[in-house]
Structure 1
Amino acid sequence: MLHKRRTLAAFAAPCLPLTGVGLPLVVYLPPYYASTLGLELAVVGILFSAVRWIDLPIDIAFGHWIDRTETRLGRFKPWMLGGGIAMALGLAMVFFASPGITPIRAFAGLLLLYVGFSAAQVAHTSWGQALSTDYHERSRIFSWWQTGNMVALISLLAVPPLANALGPRFGWEPSAALGVHAMGWVLLLLVIPTFAIIMLGVPERKSVHQHPHGWADIVSALKRPLLRRLLLIDLFASLPPGFGGALLIFFFEAARGFSVAEARLLLLFYFAAGLIGAPLWGMIARRTSKHMAVALSISSYAVLHAMLVLAPQQNFWLAAGGMLLAGLPAVAPAFLVRAMLADVTDAETLATGRSNAGLYYAVLVGVQKLGYAIPVGLAYIVLDMVGFDAKLGAANTPAAIDGLVMLFLVPPVSTALIAAWLARGWTIDRAAQQQIIAELQSR
């Protein structure tokens, strides 16, 4: 079944606010909390990392409950609604925090934000899996999902510089706080309408293979070889942009001599490339396979990311070109891995007689969070150890800047190559998936 474009657009609509809790939050909030709000760099790294580790079992719990949900609204809509409300409250606490905030207060806001995000994100991606059983249509569905993410990223990253440019006209002094507060308002204003669009515009297809499962099935699911391998692919594919996002502003400011505003502008080139990259890699996946497209994209990302480190200082347009090229393959793993997980769900349903889609997507959401939590926690702690000061920028010591450059280069490239190697060994192609669906339907 091919879905109409308006249905896919409605499905992608919640990506606008949900994406704001992803990379933009990692890029903007930790430096903002470490400089403007006055928390120590190591404390910020621990907070932003710890809240995601704590949130991981919550993801799994949500997936477990979503698989057991049957309401008049449907299986996924109640969780979208509840998650949206909690996320809105968390956004208000996190984006509008005042200078002098305590670590406990910062942690509470982050935890509430991520709990709401978890409920909505797990329900959203699980819903995408349930929309179709066709191998290539699943790539199409999640390609729209990823395009929505890219539109959101570009739009949201443009908000702070735009707010600072227009602020003086309204009597607001340009500052980091103005940019962060503007992004917070945009996200808050997007939650209700976009969640309403998906709830009204996207049908829920009832799974004929759905069976309630117990907590023992969670442990059993994590022992499944296919799921374990896919989770590792997603983890190692999420770590490179996680490290890059956490360190990007520091790298371009301290090691390459750009202003913070220029460093943030470079992100727009990176994510603008994703609008081209998503359909491009979707086409490559249709002509080869999902897993080969993942392997090709993430290995090419490793090469292009390494080239960023070789770029000369203070050459903005050369750096912008490098960011544009690196953004083309960076977009592919996120949506293709989720399409691959839909195939894994069918394979495991065939093997076990149970549909654990909500659980599987919950675990994948948790793994993606780790892909952002590990870099922030590890990188910020290491930066603090080598003497890097977020407030000094290019005035840091040569040793501190060298440590920053090595962190920006080595972990992203090495983890990307591991992800590519894991993806090459994947076993479910189109023929295998069609056979699985045929056997499920015959039951």
Structure 2
Amino acid sequence: MTTAARAPLQLPWRTGLAYGALAAPLAFVSLPLYVNLPHHYASVAGAPLAALGGVLLATRALDALIDPALGRLADRLFRQGKGQGHAWWAAVLGCVLLALGFAALWHPPKDSATAMLVWLAGALLLTTLAYSAVCILHQAWGTRWGGAPAWRARVTAWREGATLIGVLLASALPLWLGFDATSALLVLGLMLGLWSLHRLKLPVAQLADPVAPSPDRPQRSPWANASFRWLMLVFMLNGVASAIPATLLPFFVADRLQAPQWQPLFLLGYFGAAALGLPLWVRAVGRRGLAPSWRAGMGLSVLAFAATPWLGAGDGAVFAVICVASGLALGADLALPAALLTGVIHQGGAGGQSEGRYLGWWTCATKLNLALAAGLVLPLLSWAGYRSGSTDAAALQALAWLYAGLPCVLKLGAALALWCAERHHPTWRHTT
């Protein structure tokens, strides 16, 4: 066992800000892709709902399968040369491709449904692959620092806090300014984020983990790590539970609540509450530990969301309150799983060597969650007789139960799996 100095509990704000800055423009991509894109192609472009769900499932699943290879590439880039130069230039290339793909997504050909769906598949693959490559590099940058649970929670909180700022802007700007203006702002944000990352000085890793990394140790697959397998099970159950409402929100707001004009306010309330709640969850980690705090966030989410299937037209104000309450719970989902992952990596002896491998599979799981959400619930809605703009009572009730009822069940399953994982890995409950 190697003893190392413990990381300071306070992360310098300049370091946190410089590291997290790139996450804000990346959120300009993630939110429109997973919230606005399905509704845009179904309602504006007129794509068939079942075919659209199939294309989203296929492209996101293919994209997800490539992420582990992107993770291995990230590890090689960080190992090459001195400093982070190779990784930074790879991030620059990824940002260029990301901006081009994102702009193309919102201008599909409309002469035929086939051409439209082919365009969607190609542009979506380019955008999401570039997005994944940049995200993996960015996350590995902070994951390499290691540290005690409170330190790790602060690192991820800075990144996810910047993400929430980007999400708050992306939740309103596409609807108010259009996607062309949003694409231009994306380019500006990526440039500023890359500049901040380039100037960032990597802190000395002051790990509080029991295993020190060794360059001579053969690197095992992340799946050989039992802690990682448990964490991925919880992460995927919880992730699908969160991805289903993200996919169905525009349909639920427009057709069930009949309040499409309120959607920007719902999103602002949801993500604004998450941003305000992040410091509270970071503080909770210092008192209760990472896993118990995450479980508390899951429970709060279920309590906040449980009444949603019974809402209908005219209940926009009630839904706004639900958005704020569930947004507070979202802060736990944003900051704590990644902090647990950092601990799993360093305690498994892979710190400073194989962050990319782990993060490649982590990003893969994130996309599979979204692919499963779109590929399963959209065809189920079609089978239930729902179409965008439908007024049929039975179809709208099916929409409500898929939007809110199914995620609550999955969240409870994730909380149970996390409780079982804690029995096998008591360090997940540690506060220091």
- Partner Cα distance (1:97, 1:210) in 2: 50
**Identity level (%):** 23
1:17-46 deviation digits (Å, cap 9, x = unpaired): 212332332111111011212221112212
Following superposition, the deviation at residue 300 of structure 1 comes to 1.5
Comparing 292-301 and 368-377, the one that deviates more: 368-377
Quickly say closer, same or farther: Cα 1:263–1:86, change in 2 above 3 A.
Answer: same
Q: 5+ residue gaps in structure 1?
A: 164-178, 435-443
**Whole-Å Cα distance in 1 between the matches of residues 141 and 42 of structure 2?**
37
Shift of 1:188: 2.8
Structure 1 residues 380 and 288: alpha-carbon distance in aligned structure 2, compared to 1, 3 A threshold: same
Q: Give the secondary-structure state (helix, strand or coil) at the position aligned to 2:307.
A: helix
Contact 2:146–2:346, Cα closer than 8 Å, also in 1 = no
Correspondence for 2:129: 115
| Counterpart residue number, 1:231 | 232
> What's the offset of the Cα at 1:182?
3.0
Partner of 2:317: 317
Instruction: Give, in angstroms, the shift of residue 243 of structure 1.
Output: 0.6
Q: Is the 1:36–1:99 Cα contact (8 Å) retained in structure 2?
A: no
Matching of residues 57-136 of structure 1 within 5 Å: 57-69=65-77, 70-72=80-82, 74=84, 76-100=87-111, 101-136=115-150
Per-residue CA shift, 1:353-396, capped at 9, x if unaligned?
99321111111111111221211111111112222111x2xx43
CA shift, 1:155, in A, is 1.0
Whole-Å separation in 2 of the counterparts to 1:162 and 1:410? 31
- In angstroms, what is the RMSD of aligned CA positions? 2.4
Q: Deviations over 1:74-122 (max 9, x none)?
A: 2642332232122122112213434345222211100011111111111
Give 3-state SS (helix, strand or coil) of 1:71's partner. coil
Report the Cα distance in structure 1 between the residues aligned to 2:186 and 2:298, rounded to whole angstroms. 30
Pair 1:209-2:204 in alignment: no
TM alignment of 1:12-411, pairs within 5 A: 12-69=20-77, 70-72=80-82, 74=84, 76-100=87-111, 101-163=115-177, 179-203=178-202, 209=213, 211=215, 217-218=220-221, 221-258=222-259, 260-311=260-311, 313-349=313-349, 355-390=353-388, 392=389, 395-411=390-406
- Secondary structure at the aligned position of 2:306 is classed as helix
3-state DSSP class of the match of 1:39?
coil
2-structure distance, mates of 1:432, 1:336:
13
8 Å Cα contact 1:210/1:356 also seen in 2:
no
Distance 1:366 1:291 in 2: 22
Cα 1:229–1:251 shift into 2, 3 Å: same
Describe the superposition over 1:192-231 as per-residue Cα deviations: whole angstroms up to 9, x where unpaired.
Answer: 22122112234275898364898x943xx21321101111
4+ runs of 1 displaced by more than 6 Å? Answer: 430-434
Aligned pairs, number: 410
CA distance in 1, matches of 2:68, 2:306: 35
- CA-to-aligned-CA distance 1:41-74 (integer Å, 9 cap, x gap): 1122122222221112321001112222313452
Decide whether aligned partners of structure 1 residues 431 and 49 sit closer, same or farther in structure 2, where only a CA change above 3 A counts: closer
Q: 1:398 to 1:11 in 2, by over 3 A?
A: same
Change beyond 3 A, Cα 1:318–1:346: same
Structure 2 gaps of 5+ residues are 1-7
Distance in 1 between residues matched to 2:148 and 2:412, nearest whole Å? 29
TM-score calculated relative to the size of structure 2: 0.88
Report if the CA contact (8 A) 1:273-1:324 is conserved.
Answer: yes
- SS of the equivalent of 2:271 reads helix
Deviations 1:313-350 (A, max 9, x none): 31332221111111100221232111111110112117
Q: Distance in 2 between matches of 1:83 and 1:202?
A: 21
- C-alpha contact 2:227 2:344 (8 A) present in aligned 1: yes
CA distance 1:272–1:23, shift in 2 (3 Å):
same
In structure 1, distance between residues paired with 2:430 and 2:293: 17
Shift of 1:180: 2.9
